[in-house]
Structure 1
Amino acid sequence: MNLLVVGASGFLGAEVCRQAVAAGHRVVGTYHSAAVAVPGVAPRRLDITNRAAVRALLTGVRPDAVVATPYRYDDWAVTADGAAHIAVAAAEVGARLVHLSSDALHAGRPTPYTDDDVPTPVHPYGAAKAAAETAVRAVDPGALLVRTSLIVGEGSKQIQLCRDALAGRAVLFTDEARCPVHVSDLAAAVLELLPTELAGPLNVAGPEAVSRAGLGLLVARHDGVDAGGLKTTTIAGAGLHRPAQVVLDSARATGLLRTRLRGITELYG
Structure 2
Amino acid sequence: MTLLVVGASGFLGTEVCRQAVAAGQRVVGTYHSAAVAVPGVAARRLDVTDRSAVRALLTEVRPDAVVATPYRYDDWRVTADGAAHVAYAAVEAGARLVHLSSDAVHGGRPSPYLDDEPPSPIFPYGAAKAAAETAVRAIDPEAALVRTSLIVGEGSKQIQLCLDALAGRAALFTDELRCPIDVVDLAAAVLELVPSDYAGPLNVAGPDAVSRAEMGLLVARRLGLDPVGMKTTISAASGLLRPTEVRLDSSRASALLRTRLRGITELLAV
| TM-score, L = length of structure 2 | 0.99
For residue 238 of structure 2, give the secondary structure of its aligned residue in structure 1: coil
Q: Deviations over 1:77-134 (max 9, x none)?
A: 0000000000000000100000000001100001000001110001000000000000
Q: How far did residue 222 of structure 1 move?
A: 1.1
Q: Deviations over 1:172-212 (max 9, x none)?
A: 10000000000000000000111110000000000111001
For residue 255 of structure 2, give the secondary structure of its aligned residue in structure 1: helix
Detail structure 1 runs of 4+ shifted over 4 Å in the superposition.
Answer: none
For residue 237 of structure 1, give the secondary structure of its aligned residue in structure 2: helix
Q: Show the counterpart of 1:10.
A: 10
- Aligned CA RMSD, in angstroms, stands at 0.6
| 2:41 is aligned with 1:41 | yes
**Would you say how many aligned residue pairs link Structure 1 and Structure 2?**
269
Q: Which amino acid in structure 1 is aligned with residue 177 of structure 2?
A: A
Please give the alpha-carbon distance, in whole angstroms, between the structure 2 residues aligned to 1:101 and 1:240: 21
Q: Which amino acid in structure 2 is aligned with residue 66 of structure 1?
A: V
Please give the alpha-carbon distance, in whole angstroms, between the structure 2 residues aligned to 1:7 and 1:90: 15
Q: Show the counterpart of 2:83.
A: 83
Please give the alpha-carbon distance, in whole angstroms, between the structure 2 residues aligned to 1:80 and 1:241: 20
Q: Show the counterpart of 1:175.
A: 175
Tell me, which stretches of 5 or more residues in structure 1 are unaligned? none
Q: Show the counterpart of 2:234.
A: 234
- Correspondences of 1:69-148 after superposition (within 5 Å): 69-148=69-148
Q: Deviations over 1:151-191 (max 9, x none)?
A: 00011111111111111111110000000000000000000
Q: Which amino acid in structure 2 is aligned with residue 141 of structure 1?
A: P
Percent identity at matched positions?
79
Q: Show the counterpart of 2:266.
A: 266
Tell me, which stretches of 5 or more residues in structure 2 are unaligned? none
Q: How far did residue 238 of structure 1 move?
A: 2.0
Q: Show the counterpart of 1:206.
A: 206
Q: How far did residue 239 of structure 1 move?
A: 2.7
- Correspondences of 1:148-227 after superposition (within 5 Å): 148-227=148-227
For residue 229 of structure 1, give the secondary structure of its aligned residue in structure 2: coil
Please give the alpha-carbon distance, in whole angstroms, between the structure 2 residues aligned to 1:256 and 1:169: 41
Q: How far did residue 237 of structure 1 move?
A: 2.1
Q: Deviations over 1:3-47 (max 9, x none)?
A: 000000000000000000000100000000001010010000000
| 2:61 is aligned with 1:61 | yes
Please give the alpha-carbon distance, in whole angstroms, between the structure 2 residues aligned to 1:256 and 1:200: 14
Please give the alpha-carbon distance, in whole angstroms, between the structure 2 residues aligned to 1:214 and 1:197: 37
Please give the alpha-carbon distance, in whole angstroms, between the structure 1 residues aligned to 2:104 and 2:3: 27
Q: How far did residue 240 of structure 1 move?
A: 2.5
